[in-house]
Amino acid sequence: MKKKAIDFSVITRSKITWAVVAEILILLVCFIIRPDFFSISIQPSTGVLYGSLIDILNRSAEITIIAMGMTLAIALGGTDLSVGALVAVSGAMALKLMRWDVLEYSTPGDYTVYPFWMAILLPLLTCMLMGLFNGILISKGGMQPFIATLILMVSGRGIAQILTNGKQFTTMYSPFRVIGQGHLGPIPMPIIIMTVVCIAMAVFVRKTAFGTFVESVGVNKSASRLSGISSDTVIIIVYTLTGLLAGIAGLIYSSRIMSNDSNNAGINYEMDAILAVVIGGTAMTGGKFSLIGTIIGSIIIRTIVTFVYYFGIVAEATMAFKALIIAVVIILQSEPVREYFARRSEKRALQG
Amino acid sequence: MPENIILEMKEIEIKFPGVKALDKVDFTLRKGEVHSLLGENGAGKSTLIKCLTGVNRKDGGKILLNGQEINPTSPQQAVDLGISTVFQEINLCPNLTVAENIFIGRQPMKRGGIDWKTINKRANELMERFHLDIDVTRPLSFYSTAVQQMVSIARAVDIQAKILILDEPTSSLDDNEVRLLFEVMRQLKAEGMGIIFITHFLDQVYEISDRMTILRNGHLIGSYEIGQLNKVQLVTEMIGKDIDVIFNLKRADVKEDAAYMLEAEHIGVPGKVKDISVTLKEGELLGFAGLLGSGRTETAEMLFGAEKTAQGKIRKKGSDISLKTPHEAIMNRIAFCPEDRKTDGIIGDLSIRENIMLAVQARRGFMHPMSRAEQDKLADYYIKALGIATPDAEKKIGELSGGNQQKVILARWMATEPDVLILDEPTRGIDVGAKAEIQRLMLERCRDGVSVIFISSELDEIIRCSNRIVVMRDRQKVAEVDGATCTQQDILNIIAEGSAAENGKEASV
Amino acid sequence: MNKTSSKKQSLLSRLMNPKYIMVYATVAIFLIIYLFGAINYGDKGFLSLRTLIISMFTENAYYGISAVGMTMVLITGGIDLSVGAVSALTGMIIAYGVAIMNLPPMLCLLFALVIGVGLGLLMGAGIHYLNVPPFIMTLTGMFLTRGICSLMSRESIEINNELIDALAGFKIYIKWWNEDGEWAKIKPICYINFNFILFIVMIIIGTILLQRTRFGRNVYAIGGNEQSAKLMGLPVARTKILVYGFNGFCSVLAGFAYVLYVKSGWNLALQGGELEVITCAVIGGTLMTGGVGYMVGTLFGVLLKSAIPALITFNGNLLSWWGKIATGALLLLFIFIQRVVVVYSNRKKQE
């Protein structure tokens, strides 16, 4: 009797519980309305897996990748608003390198002007530098993360536009297409990249002590410093990493459309990523974080979008559904509600 | 003169989980008197005040205000009853003007809008009464802490309080500002207000108070008229000798030929510590005695790199070392358990295990993580060795009692296997049993060859444990005495003499 | 300083009060930018630069109206990301009501006000009672509002209404001495419209609320130190909730002004508008950490922000995207100035 009550409290206190419940509920509704929602088949022409669930995973790649970095930024008690703009910068940079202005007379074809590795690495490097800029403003400059990253959020898209002279380039270079539209065996490439990034991040933060350092600095900067942790270094690494991940997401996005779209690439990504993190149970005040929670959060967001597409609801209305589900999760996760559940289960434990 | 009594607190009892914070404490306040409330940190002064101002609920006893029983449940209610408090931390809004801070929430109105002219005029009048010539239309943050302190007193006074509680208002004031504050206090006293004055500065107690009440470890020691006790008696009463030897604690022996572990020569930081030199031998326990604010904490911080030294040299085992950051100190196997456990010690949301492994991990760098098995082993070992009361190592440190938190922090540093262990008030605010245990652990380290620096306000524990004792006063080292031969009285005399000799200079306990 | 001087202050010493320093910084930077433009592009006419700035200012008035509410939210130390979406929703409600349901526009506006203020109050309550960070709470509000917009219509809805046309067409031309010394309209045509007047009225209302009411002072107190405000017995919960309600009110009015400007409702209108609005407030000297900010500063913030595109247009060779970068640079500059002010005043206090 007593043991049961304690189990209950563990479940209600765990921050990712509600996210998992929400995801299951949405999927359940999908299943009831459309029993074939869960079916996964192999497309005969390409040999690629095909189905709603695969689509959800595929399309959630960008946000999930960005949200990995965002989780660390939020665990530090900060946030990174510039990631959406960095997505645009990364795409613009890549397209600029593959299709240089000089060759405007030539028609798009299966070629690249600069070597492919350059078109991949330079955008990533640029995004890392911009993340480094954020990190330095926050750690050495002592600025609030919100304001420090607002600067690049505002001017980042401008930089992307200037890079491409305000033009939208297209490319047909096939190796680049692989990033967003290719597949490895039967699995779409974005899912592969996302998985690799998630595993790499998980290994980086949990198999080294970096995750603990981030949590420690996020909870108590002064005590962390006195324990010998260099909080400035931790902050700079986190924001640089967030920049890099935004860059990767930018490459996937632009490869999907084989073009740069500085106005719309990554729009509201920072919001979606922050939401994914918060739904995943990491508190905006910093401290303990959960990468798994973030992945679930990101998938929830994408499930809602897919749900809306599938059932013929106006695509732009997705946001309203997002808001409703987020509101429910946030309210259930909020301090007063969690305390209420904790008190109730304590009472039960006492009675039992 | 019982008709003069405006406040009576009878047999107040307050329990916190595991400890009795106040045990049947009586307190009376007369009209028109300044009554000092004295005691060491953790003695229960602020708990008593918090009970009176409705922050803490009492578990027993009565509060009578003018003979009527009251039970304030919030600071606001206490204010409505005429009990105003000025805290050491300033509870005002730094962005608002001086005048506005005094009047916000009860601004005079004129023609539907705030009457700024009246506000500024009345604020000017109040400031004049306090002999402060400042521009009341400037933001509060523009002025020194002293002025801000005065402003919060002005706010408290202007809401027609019957009782004014001043909780260490002078800790950030200089002599002139203190004199100014005292003038105001005398004026308020003459107007019939009862003032409760909490301070660490003994000279100020004698200068301004009519009576004093002494608390120690949650017990009432007594209430005295100001002439009844002299300074040395007062210090003795406050510090007490109540930790009887629960465990048979024995001072560690230092070998005759023990090498120097740490030598600091003429280190100092302007405005914090003047030119200090200390030496520490292998296996030696060096006590730092002195009053709060005497520079003992700053010295410890310099030896740990938490405070950058502006001058001097530090040698460890004979060779010069650089101590610019705590990280460097940790690399040199120096450990430091800070004074303020809450803000500088614990990482509240992390588990006991993570809190224990943190410093070891920081020394190794994050790329060389300890395996989970190693962490568990480390945590379990120290939980057992230090007797940390917890069901398991995964409990959040924030959920432990103060004594257990302190043991976890101690474990964090012991785990680094330091050569030098600096402990700043490790026994503050924890119960007697835990105190004795921490002392025992400290002495065990010494026997293992670790050099320990032990800072404490409690003389008996310093004398009991230390081989040598450095006595500090007024931000410098004034004496170094032998721990085996000196008595509490000797040290008390050094501290009290100093404060008596430099008449008027503040001395704190 | 003797007593008489501290009692009776001259206007000058009152204006020298350090609490206005950020506002002065805004004004100074505006003047520098203006002079820079005037000197560098003087050949194109000093006057026409002024004209351009005035017309940009007039066109940006709807951001300004929204910035009035945002300034107040930022002063409490909060943030509201839903403003652009609420403005867009206002446009949709008016367009839908007028064009499809044939309702009088003012009735639609009233309805939009109820929705906007209601949503603001709701978000404020969530922020205060549920302890949800303002960022997340208002982001949810933004998603909800945008979603509702899209549910109403995905296409832009034209508005053909006499009242709207009349309000939109209302113009007061600005006259000045021209090169011939005649009192005439400034060319190219420079005027003040209804939106601009609404903006100025809102700035005045905002100033009165902030400076002349207890409510306004509580807003500052909460931004300065919420804990202290509570201990001083101020109505923290009520004030915070009302501030978000007032911001909703401002967003709806901004949406109305935008309707007058484009004469249509569109579900994606003013996307990212919240950022523009926050930027206006911040370069107007409002601290995002709360406690500091003035409506006058916000007025100049909008002016400053209008000057950038004016200058870029004036240069002629620059891509308009430089505007975004310049805005980012301005933000950086302002945050830098704020840091310097804080560090300097701390050092001064220590001495």
Chain segment B120-145, per-residue pLDDT in tens: 999 999 888 877 888 898 888 888 77
Tell me what pLDDT residue A291 has: 93
Task: Determine which of A214-223, B487-496, C77-86, C210-219 has the lowest per-residue pLDDT on average.
Answer: B487-496
3-state secondary structure of C300: helix
Query: Chains near B, with 3+ CB pairs < 8 A?
Result: A, C
Q: How far is C24 from chain B (nearest CA, A)?
A: 16
List pLDDT tens digits, range C221-238: 999 999 888 888 888 999
- A 67-106: CB under 8 A from C: 79
The span from the CA of C310 to the CA of C301, in Å, is: 14
Reported as a single tens digit per residue, the pLDDT across B146-159 is 788 888 888 888 87
Interface contact A119, partner C, CB < 8 A:
no
> For chain A, first and last CA: distance in Å?
6
Nearest to A326 among C140, C149, C278 (CB): C140
Interface subset of A 249-288, CB within 8 angstroms of B: 287-288
Looking at the complex, report in whole angstroms how far the Cα of residue A7 sits from the nearest Cα belonging to chain C. Answer: 25
For chain A, list residues with pLDDT below 50: 1-6
Long-range contacts of B424-427 (CB under 8 A, 24+ apart): B424/B296, B424/B297, B424/B300, B424/B336, B424/B337, B424/B338, B424/B339, B424/B455, B425/B41, B425/B339, B425/B455, B425/B456, B425/B457, B426/B337, B426/B454, B426/B456, B427/B456, B427/B458, B427/B461
Contact B123/C at CB under 8 A: no
Q: Do B348 and A288 touch (CB under 8 A)?
A: no
Residue with tokens 């001017």: A155
Residue C7: the pLDDT is 45
Q: What is the mean pLDDT of residues B354-362?
A: 92
| First-to-final CA distance of chain C | 18
Whether ipTM tops 0.85, in short, is no
Give percent of chain B above pLDDT 90.
20
| Under 8 Å between Cβ of B443 and B384 | no
The residue extents of the domains of chain B are 2-239, 241-333+418-509, 354-415
Is A335's Cβ below 8 Å from some Cβ in B? no
Tell me whether C289 touches chain B (CB under 8 Å): no
**Vertex A258 angle, CA A255 and A260, to 5°:** 95
Is the pLDDT reported for residue B441 higher than 70? yes
Interchain pair C213, B114: CB under 8 A = yes
For residue A330, the model assigns a pLDDT of 77
Distance of CA C178 to the CA centre of its chain: 32
Q: Which long-range contacts does B405-408 make (Cβ < 8 Å, 24+ apart)? A: B405/B341, B405/B345, B405/B346, B406/B337, B406/B341, B406/B345, B406/B430, B406/B434, B406/B438, B407/B434, B407/B437, B407/B438, B408/B346, B408/B352, B408/B355, B408/B356, B408/B382
CATH T-level fold of A2-351: ABC transporter involved in vitamin B12 uptake, BtuC (1.10.3470)
Please give the structure tokens belonging to residue C161: 């209404």
Considering only residues 331 to 350 of chain A, which have any Cβ-Cβ distance to chain C shorter than 8 Å? 331, 334-337
For residues A19 and A304, give the distance between their C-alpha atoms in angstroms, rounded to a whole number. 13
CA A42 from centroid of its chain's CA atoms: 27
Q: What are phi and psi of C269, to 5 degrees?
A: -60, 145
B290: left (phi over 0), alpha (psi -120 to 50) or beta: left
Tokens of B70: 């009251």
Q: Which of B45-49, B397-401, B449-453 has the lowest mean pLDDT?
A: B397-401
Q: How far is A208 from chain C (nearest CA, A)?
A: 31
Residue of chain B whose alpha carbon sits nearest to that of C216: B114
B2-239 and B241-333+418-509: identical CATH topology: yes
Q: Picking from B489-493, C119-123, C255-259, which range would have the lowest pLDDT averaged per residue?
A: B489-493
Amino acid identity, residue C208? Answer: I
Q: What is the pLDDT of residues C321-344, one digit of tens each?
A: 888 888 888 888 888 887 787 777
Examine the pLDDT at C298 and tell me if it is beyond 90. yes
CA C194/CA B56 separation, integer angstroms: 57
Structure tokens at A337: 């509600």
* Choice between B269 and C293, residue whose per-residue pLDDT is larger: C293
Task: Look at residue B503 in the predicted model and tell me its pLDDT.
Answer: 39
Mean pLDDT (chain C, rounded): 85
Interchain contact C77–B (C-beta under 8 A): no
CA distances to A140, C31, C32, C334, C339 from C27, rounded to whole Å, are 29, 6, 9, 12, 18
Q: Is the peptide bond before C188 cis (omega within 30 degrees of 0)?
A: yes
At C108, give phi and psi (nearest 5°): -65, -40
Q: Please state the rounded mean pLDDT for residues B217-226.
A: 87
Nearest to A216 among B347, B368, B370 (CB): B347
pLDDT band, very low/low/confident/very high, at C187 (cuts 50, 70, 90): low
Contacting residues for B100 by C-beta, under 8 A, at least 6 apart: B107, B119, C217
Name subunits touching C (3+ CB pairs < 8 A). Answer: A, B
Interatomic CA distance for residues A302 and A57, integer angstroms: 8
* Residues of chain A contacting residue C132, judged by C-beta atoms under 8 Å apart: 330-331, 334
**Structural element, H or E, at residue A106:** none
Within a 13 Å sphere around the CA of A323, how many CA atoms are in the beta-carbon half?
21
Q: A144 and C317 in contact (C-beta within 8 Å)?
A: no
Question: What is d(CA B279, CA B90) in angstroms, rounded to the nearest whole number?
Answer: 39
Give B271-277 contacts, CB < 8 A, sequence gap 24+: B272/B298, B272/B307, B272/B475, B273/B298, B273/B299, B273/B302, B273/B475, B273/B476, B274/B475, B274/B476, B275/B311, B275/B312, B275/B476, B276/B476, B276/B477, B277/B312, B277/B477
Query: How far is residue B445 CA from its own chain's centroid?
Result: 26
Q: Which residues contact B251 (CB under 8 A, 6 or more apart)?
A: B285, B443, B464, B465, B466, B467, B483, B484
Task: Estimate the share of chain A in helix, then strand, then coil, as percent rounded to the nearest 5.
Answer: 75, 5, 25
Residue B242 has pLDDT above 60, yes or no: no
Residue C180 in this model has a pLDDT that exceeds 90? no
| B193 has a pLDDT exceeding 60 | yes
DSSP category for residue A256:
H
* Confidence (pLDDT) at B53: 85
Nearest to C20 by CA among B120, B136, B100, B138: B138
Q: Residue A342: list chain B partners with CB under 8 A.
A: none
CA distance B192 to B175: 26
Mutation choice for A interface testing from C321, C339, C346 by most A CBs within 10 A: C321
Question: Mean pLDDT over residues C44-54, rounded?
Answer: 65
Tokens 């520490």 belong to B280
Beta strand residue intervals within B157-258, DSSP E: 163-167, 194-198, 211-216, 219-225
Can you give the pLDDT at residue B150?
84
Residues B155 and C333: their CA atoms lie apart, in Å, by 38
Q: Residue-wise over B400-431: b if at least 16 C-beta within 10 A, else e?
A: bbbbbbbbbbbbbbbbbebbbbbbbbbbbbbb
CA A335 to chain centre: 25
Give the C-alpha separation, A252 to A255, whole Å: 5
Alpha-carbon gap, residue C168 to C98, rounded angstroms: 15
pLDDT at B106: 85
Model pLDDT, residue B312: 86
What pLDDT does B171 receive? 66
CATH architecture of the region C19-37+45-342: Orthogonal Bundle (1.10)
Q: Which CATH class is domain B241-333+418-509?
A: alpha beta
Shortest Cα–Cα distance, C172 to chain A (Å):
34
Distance CA C326, CA C318 (A): 12
Q: State whether A162 and C339 contact (CB < 8 Å).
A: no
**Smallest Cβ distance to C148: which of A152, A274, A320?**
A320
C chain contacts of residue A320, beta-carbon cutoff 8 Å: 143-144, 146-148, 150-151
Domains of chain A, by residue range, sit at 2-351
CB contact under 8 A, A209 and B344: no
Among C1, C19, C291, select the one facing B133 at the smallest CB separation. C1
* Predicted local confidence at residue C25, as pLDDT: 86
B81 residue type, one letter: L
* pLDDT score of C10: 67
Sequence-distant contacts of C180-185: CB under 8 A, at least 24 apart: none
Chain C interface test: which of B74, B76, B89, B95 (most C C-beta within 10 Å): B95
The pTM (predicted TM-score) of the whole model is 0.83
Q: Which of B187, B191, B230, B226 is nearest to B207 (CA)?
A: B226
> Average pLDDT of B221-249?
71
Q: What is B2-239's CATH superfamily?
A: P-loop containing nucleotide triphosphate hydrolases (3.40.50.300)
